[in-house]
Structure 1
Amino acid sequence: MRKQRRGSIALTLLCAMALLTAPGLAAGTAFAAPEPQAGKSLEQVRKEIEDLYRAAGTATDAYNLAESETKTQSAKIVEIAKLVVAGNDRIETLKSRAGAAARAQYRSGGLPPSAQLALSNNPVQFLDGADRLRQGEKATSDLLSELNRTQSDLRQYAKDASAHWETLEANRVKQEASKKEIEQKIKAAEELESKLEAEQKAKLLQLEMEAQYKAQTAWLSSGALKDATGAATSEAGKKAVAFAVAQMGKPYVWGAVGPESYDCSGLTSQAWLAAGKAIPRTSQEQLRLPKVAIKDMRPGDLIIYFDDATHVGMYVGDGAIIHAPRPGRNVTMTGAGSMPIKAVVRPDA
């Protein structure tokens, strides 16, 4: 417990030091960056940019989900195609067998059993033949039944394939719409930021850090970690954390899953994949993983943020997470309480 608190204090001090050493801040002096044009304060611009990137994050999650579903539907269509090929091969085999049976019956004269009995000089031989005939008739009946079943399966495969194609097309439309929205929001945010002078951009970064620091401080002051159990991390969790730490400094790129860049859920999904555990691709799907209380969270657990579950970071202990924040920022460490927490989930529960 003491170690957890010391770590939380250390992280708070780290955030404070980062603020004091932010670009444009000289020791003992205040930052005097000019305010943006159009009557907006830099804080208003910061919030506007943050809202745009949040909207882009929501669209990114929708894009990633559609992409994941597209891959699933494509795989199912390939599987159905293989079943259709196998079904057609089976029908050809059954037709060949049915033809052979018909030819055998033709060669036998096709006489009914009663006529064959009347013409036979050896009743015992006939009865033996009649038994074989009944067996042959059953085999033919079974063959025709199997042929009908296989044809019915092929009809069902055709329906399934059609349904999967429709889903595939719907996902493609979703992806295109989400991609367009992402690009529009990011472009709008970048245009806002591009109008800022160098000093204003430095001040903007400082304001972001201040907002995170205030949120983290308030979260810790609320006693969120007061009853933290300090649960031991699993071996898989250690590997996932080690992977996430190694990605620090790499840029955020929407839709990216590494190795050179990541979006938020791309980072967490790849970290756990590196630990030998495949988890869902998007933060909204990751929300479905087994949940744990904040007091019980341990390094490797994932923290899902915002009401719409559109951001995720990996808890690394001592009240901190590693995450891919947004476009224009790199994979970094920040306070676990620097954003509104929706839930904590454990991939290897």
Structure 2
Amino acid sequence: MYRRHCGAAAITLVCALAVLAAPAQAFAAPAPPGPAGSDASATAAGSGGKTLEEVRAEIDELYLKAGAATDAYNLAEEKAKKQSGELVELTQAIAEGQAKIADLKSRAGAQAREQYRNAGLPPGAQLMLSGDPQLFLDGISRARQGQQAAKGLLGQLTRSQEDLETYTKDANTNWTKLEANRVKQAKAKKKINAQIAAAKKLESRLEKEERARLLKMEQEEANRAQTSWLGSGALKEINREASPLGKQAVAFATAQIGKPYVWGAEGPKSYDCSGLTSQAWAAAGRPIPRTSQEQWRLLPHIEIKDMRPGDLIIYHADATHVGMYVGDGRIIHAPRPGRDVTLAGAGSMQILGVVRPDA
């Protein structure tokens, strides 16, 4: 992260005026455009005639798109992991089914050979032809037992063959899905890298002083959105304590502050936004979906006024960002590439809603 400030007081004053007057990021509350002649309206170095504010908006949009692609990548990866596991189980079931069928065929063959050695008659039938009444009765019983055994053997063989066909069909289906998700992963990865590279290229063209102003504008815009959110009375009724599991999740997330954002990462050295929240709740003993979109889709929704530490706030209309509420109107989140896991205002981005993993 760039953490430099403008040195001269005059430049600082101009920057502050420019930030206060600058339009919002794509994910924040709207604001009026900066006045002509402000730093935000001045042409940025190496930007092809764009203002610093236009460059900032373009960078924000690129990172938002990278975030959406990251969610798609993570979802495809989770599905691929699940299908790989199912394929392993099906492969084992197929091997066991083949061994069972081989055993049943061997036993059926043994019965057939026994009948052949006895002129085509089972031992029970031969006893039935004897002149001894007791042997005759024993023969009837053995014949019935032999018939039932043969019938049971054929039934097992038929069922095993049907099971094997089902396992094979399921394995083929899972393999097709696995390959499809691998293709989705590859496309998402390509898109992520392209968006991040484009954003970094835009930033690299700026002068050091412009990059410092860019960071300051970003921070000021987030603060302005947070102030507006707090001013709306959003926190008036939010005074609930975290649940025991929520406290564990918050403790885990807090311990990750300062670690870098890396897309697709789930720790322990780096995280993306949903990698952080999913690992925090896994550490608390409550596994949750891997992606922010799946967290929004599958976890119980609650009202903002009912929010408590440990709950997850989902951001943006497409649910492509998530942070963990930790109290006092703040979240811990992994913002984007080039930033570290940090504390931020819960209202500094556009809130879609809140979910509770341990509802």
> Same fold, TM exceeding 0.5?
yes
> Where does residue 213 of structure 1 map in the other structure?
223
> Where does residue 44 of structure 2 map in the other structure?
36
> Where does residue 24 of structure 1 map in the other structure?
6
> Where does structure 2 lack aligned partners over 5 or more consecutive residues?
16-38
Write the distance in 2 (CA, Å) between the matches of 1:117 and 1:146. 28
Q: Report the AA paired with residue 24 of structure 1.
A: C
> Where does structure 1 lack aligned partners over 5 or more consecutive residues?
1-20
Deviation at 1:110, TM superposition (A): 2.6
Write the distance in 2 (CA, Å) between the matches of 1:285 and 1:255. 15
Task: Tell me whether 99-108 or 137-146 shows the greater mean CA deviation.
Answer: 99-108
Deviation readout 1:16-69 (Å, 9 max, x if unpaired): xxxxx9722656741456640433221111111000000000000000000000
Counterpart contact for 2:310–2:325, Cα < 8 Å: yes
Q: Report the AA paired with residue 241 of structure 1.
A: V
Q: Which of 277, 296, 301 in structure 1 is aligned with 2:306? A: 296
Q: Report the AA paired with residue 23 of structure 1.
A: H
Alpha-carbon spacing, 1:118–1:99, altered in 2? closer, same or farther (3 Å): closer
Alpha-carbon spacing, 1:185–1:243, altered in 2? closer, same or farther (3 Å): same
Counterpart contact for 2:326–2:332, Cα < 8 Å: yes
Write the distance in 2 (CA, Å) between the matches of 1:44 and 1:25. 24
Write the distance in 2 (CA, Å) between the matches of 1:209 and 1:129. 94
Alpha-carbon spacing, 1:112–1:280, altered in 2? closer, same or farther (3 Å): closer
**1:241 maps to 2:250:** yes
> Where does residue 18 of structure 1 map in the other structure?
none
- Within 5 Å, give how 1:270-349 maps onto structure 2: 270-287=279-296, 288-349=298-359
TM-score scaled by length of structure 2? 0.87
> Where does residue 12 of structure 1 map in the other structure?
none
Task: Tell me whether 271-280 or 26-35 shows the greater mean CA deviation.
Answer: 26-35
> Where does residue 251 of structure 1 map in the other structure?
260
Write the distance in 1 (CA, Å) between the matches of 2:232 and 2:328. 16
Write the distance in 1 (CA, Å) between the matches of 2:148 and 2:236. 77
Counterpart contact for 1:303–1:344, Cα < 8 Å: yes
- Within 5 Å, give how 1:127-146 maps onto structure 2: 127-146=137-156
Write the distance in 2 (CA, Å) between the matches of 1:210 and 1:200. 15
Which has the higher relative contact order, 1 or 2, with Cα contacts under 8 A spaced 6 or more apart?
1
> Where does residue 73 of structure 1 map in the other structure?
83
Q: Report the AA paired with residue 253 of structure 1.
A: V
Alpha-carbon spacing, 1:291–1:22, altered in 2? closer, same or farther (3 Å): farther
Q: Percent identity?
A: 61
> Where does residue 264 of structure 1 map in the other structure?
273
Task: Tell me whether 184-193 or 211-220 shows the greater mean CA deviation.
Answer: 211-220
Alpha-carbon spacing, 1:118–1:290, altered in 2? closer, same or farther (3 Å): closer
Deviation at 1:259, TM superposition (A): 1.2
Q: Report the AA paired with residue 285 of structure 1.
A: E
TM-score scaled by length of structure 1? 0.89
- Within 5 Å, give how 1:95-106 maps onto structure 2: 95-106=105-116
Alpha-carbon spacing, 1:114–1:183, altered in 2? closer, same or farther (3 Å): closer
Q: How many residues align structurally?
A: 328
Deviation readout 1:145-203 (Å, 9 max, x if unpaired): 11011011111111111100100110011011101110110011000000011111110
